[in-house]
Amino acid sequence: MVKRVIGTAGDWVNIDRDGTVYVNDIQLEEPYLAEKALGECNIELPYQVPDGKIFVMGDSRPNSLDSRTTLVGCVSDEQIIGKIVFRVWPLSGFGTVK
């Protein structure tokens, strides 16, 4: 799975009905999203990320299974195996990833 890190231990994550994400009451700028959505979410918001955990979300918000659902939940630091630094597809997005 490839997901984007949204919050780390101690952060408060909140997502409104239209899918706008806030971390510690600051709205995230997410120009990489094609569409915002609350998606499948069965956690109580706002949600505080537990110690040793990371809150992750996929870029396809209406369809992504990620930390918004208890099926996946937050991931532990040990579960992170890499970081994407370069994208080759789609060609329109070819280049480094911020």
Superfamily of chain region 4-96: Umud Fragment, subunit A (2.10.109.10)
Average pLDDT, the chain: 94
pLDDT tens track for 29-68: 999 899 999 999 999 999 999 999 999 999 999 999 999 9
Domain ranges of the chain: 4-96
DSSP readout, the chain? ---EEEEETT-EEEE-TT--EEETTEEPP-TT-S-----S--S-SSEEPPTTEEEEE-SSTTT--STTSTTT--EEGGG------EE-SSGGG-EE--
pTM value is 0.88
